[in-house]
Structure 1
Amino acid sequence: MARFYIIGFTVLLFFDTIAQCSFKLTAIHAEPLAMSVDWLVRVFTNPWIYISIAGYILTFFTWMTLLKKAPVGPAFAASHFEVVTVMVVSIWLFHEPITLFKLIGTILIISGILFLALAESKLSKQESNNLQR
């Protein structure tokens, strides 16, 4: 089961990161922002928008598959790790700076995910022990 979670959440992060970065690439290539037909044409003739849409669809189906088996609390927390993966990719792809707030946020997200995973593991062990009695 642990292998299912590791593979599943890796795939989820991959699709979500691709979707969000593709969406940003679409926005960059469609500049300047203007609510006009020309801007819409720039958006929808850009291949990144379709990669983004496909990424969001694949993210949705991956998430639904994971939720069938994963506990909701830790799964929801782990799904927010995409904030970290998007930040890391954005540093490389968009040359965005690493700030103190980003580092603190990353530490808090990872800590929260670890604490929830540990709490869920402890709760599962307690439930297992109670069932054995």
Structure 2
Amino acid sequence: MRKFYLIGFALLLLFDTLGQSSFKLTAIHAQPLEASLEWIIRVFTQPWVYIAIAGYIGAFFTWMVLLKKAPVGPAFAASHLEVVTVMLVSAFLFHEHITATRIMGAVFIVAGIIFLALAEKEIIHTEHSKDDEAC
């Protein structure tokens, strides 16, 4: 089951990060932003917009498969690791700065996910102990 979660959340992060990064690339290549038919054509002639859509479709189906087995609280929190991966990819692809504040935010996100996972593990352990005592 652990391998299922690791692979599933890795795929979810990959698809989410791919989608976000591709939307950014679409926006960059479709400049300048304007309310016109030409702008819409520029957007939809960029391959990045289709990669972004594919990323979101992949994330949607991966998320549905994960939710069949994963507890929703920790799973929802873990899905927000995307914020961290997008920040890292943005620094590499778009030369965005990673500031101390952003690093601190990423650490808090990761710590929160870890604490929620530990709490869920404790709840499951407590429930199994109660079930064993009832038998």
Normalising by the smaller structure, the TM-score range is: over 0.9
Match of 1:10 in 2: 10
Question: Over aligned residues, Cα RMSD in angstroms?
Answer: 0.5
TM-score, with structure 2 as normaliser: 0.97
In 2, the alpha carbon distance for the partners of 1:116 and 1:82 equals 16
In 2, the alpha carbon distance for the partners of 1:40 and 1:103 equals 36
Any gaps of 5 or more consecutive residues in structure 1?
A: none
Matched residue type, 1:14: L
Structure 1 residue 114 and structure 2 residue 114: aligned?
yes
Any gaps of 5 or more consecutive residues in structure 2?
A: none
Deviations 1:80-123 (A, max 9, x none): 00000000000000000011221111011001000000000011
Q: Identity of counterpart residues, as a percentage?
A: 62
Matched residue type, 1:106: A
In 2, the alpha carbon distance for the partners of 1:51 and 1:35 equals 23
In 2, the alpha carbon distance for the partners of 1:56 and 1:43 equals 17
TM-score, with structure 1 as normaliser: 0.99
In 2, the alpha carbon distance for the partners of 1:20 and 1:93 equals 12
In 2, the alpha carbon distance for the partners of 1:102 and 1:24 equals 19
SS of structure 2 residue aligned to 1:68: helix
Match of 1:130 in 2: 130
Deviations 1:21-63 (A, max 9, x none): 0000000000110010010010000000000001001100000
Match of 1:36 in 2: 36
SS of structure 2 residue aligned to 1:96: coil
In 2, the alpha carbon distance for the partners of 1:23 and 1:128 equals 45
- How much has 1:75 moved relative to structure 2? 0.1
Would you identify which runs of 4 or more consecutive aligned residues in structure 1 move more than 6 Å?
none
